[in-house]
Every structure is written in structure tokens, then in C-alpha cells.
Structure 1
Amino acid sequence: MKIFVLLGAINGFLSVALGAFGAHVLEGKIPDKYIETWQTAVQYQMFHTLGLFIVALLAAKWPHVSSIPIAGWLMFAGIVLFSGSLYVLSVTQIKVLGAITPFGGVAFLIGWLLIGYAAIKYL
């Protein structure tokens, strides 16, 4: 599935760029607590960028398994909701944005469960 390779490449680029931005531009401009929050967003974005590449590989191997692309879309949604909300929270310090983050975390969890389900069913 070419879309997941493309999404992985874009998110890999963004996670490196945003990590550098946090380390070089935000350092000293926002409280350390929010620098750590920013770093958490970068880490989870990069972990799930790798997940998008895994989805692309599995979708190529098992094109008939519908749970694999669903897992990829959930990982992408998780990146947007989890990491995106943490990025915005870090720079705005509007704490209510933290209420969005768990939805992204749940999307990540379900995505990984779907990959596990596919492995159990099709290996």
C-alpha cells in the first residue's frame, strides 16, 4: 500500500524536523515540562512512523487482510491526535488540549492489536 509508505516518509521527515525544532528553537522559550511533552510527541510520532512502514510491508504481503490498512489508518490518526495535541499543548500551554491525547493513544493501541490479530490469523 503505497499510501502508507508515503505517510511514513512524511511523518518520518516531520518527526525529525519537529524534534530539531523542539531542541533548538523551543529550548529556553517554553518551560521544561513542555519541552518533555514535545519530546514525547516526537518519540511517539517516530515510533508510529515505523508502524506505518510495517503496515505497508504487511499490506503488500497480505493484500486480502482488511485489518492491516485499518491498522495503518488508526496509526496515522493516532499520530495526528496524540502527537498533534501534544505539540499544540506544548506551545500554547492550553491544558484542555490534553483531553484529545488519549484518543490518539487508543487509536495507536487498536492499530497494534489489529496487526497482532492479523499475525495470529494469517501466520
Structure 2
Amino acid sequence: MTQQTFIITGAIFGLLAIIFGAFGAHALKKTLTTDQLKSFETGVKYQMYHAIVLLVLGFHSQFSTSVTYWAFTLGILLFSFSIYGLVLSDSKGKKFKFLGPITPIGGLFFVLGWIFIIINSL
């Protein structure tokens, strides 16, 4: 995995986090319950945190590997995007329950990404 891949992926996920955050704060604020909005915001926060980590790893390649890249990328896709899907489908009255078990798998990928950073730094 190249430094550019880490940086571009991190930047795309960061950009999307800003867009989704603004969408949640403005367009969805009127249609979501307080709990739904809080869940949506959790997805945005975790996406942004890990987008920043991908950027940092791109600039400090001695700590980055393709395994770390995929752990954080899959973590964002499975954790944050499943939350978005759960919240938006629930707000329409047709909750996609199959997404519920996907969220913790994404969280596990986040944990693995952090473990890989620790291993790479030893």
C-alpha cells in the first residue's frame, strides 16, 4: 500500500464525514429522533477519527502496512456506514435489521487496526 493510497483514502473519508455531518445536523435534524441523531453522529465521529488516522499513517509510512490500511478502511465501511443505514432506514419505518450485526464487526476492524499500529511500532 502506498503513502498516496493512505492519504487519498483518508481524505475521501474525511470529506464524506464532513458532508454526512452537515447532512445530519441540517437536513436530518428535523426527521430524526434525538437517539437516532446521536447514533448518526457516532458514525460520523468514528469515520472522521479513522480518516485522520489514515492520513497520519500516510505521512508516517514506517507505521503503516496494507493490513492496517484494510483494517481501518473496512472498519469505516462496516461500522460507520452500517450505522448510517440503520438510522436512515429506521427513520423511514423500514429498519434494515441485517445491518445491526455488521456494526460490531466494523468496530472489531478498528480494534485490529490499532493493534497493527502497536505491532508495527515495536
Q: TM-score, normalised by structure 1?
A: 0.88
Indicate which of 24, 49, 62 corresponds to 2:26.
24
Residue deviations 1:84-117 (CA, integer Å, cap 9, x gap): 0000111101262221100100000000100011
Superposition CA RMSD, Å: 1.4
Indicate which of 51, 76, 84 corresponds to 2:81.
84
Aligned equivalents of 2:72 and 2:119: distance in 1?
15
Mapping of residues 1-123 of structure 1, within 5 Å: 1-59=3-61, 62=62, 68-93=65-90, 94=95, 96=97, 97-120=99-122
Name the SS of the counterpart of 1:74 in structure 2. helix
Aligned equivalents of 2:57 and 2:109: distance in 1?
14
Contact 1:51 1:72 in 2 (8 A): no
* 1:55, distance to aligned residue in structure 2 (A): 2.0
**Residue identity (%):** 36
Name the SS of the counterpart of 1:27 in structure 2. coil
Number of matched pairs: 115
Contact 2:85 2:96 in 1 (8 A): no
Aligned equivalents of 1:68 and 1:115: distance in 2?
9
Instruction: Report runs of 4+ in structure 1 exceeding 2 Å deviation.
Output: none
Residue deviations 1:46-76 (CA, integer Å, cap 9, x gap): 00001111221232xx3xx7x6221111101
Structure 1 unaligned blocks of 5 or more:
none
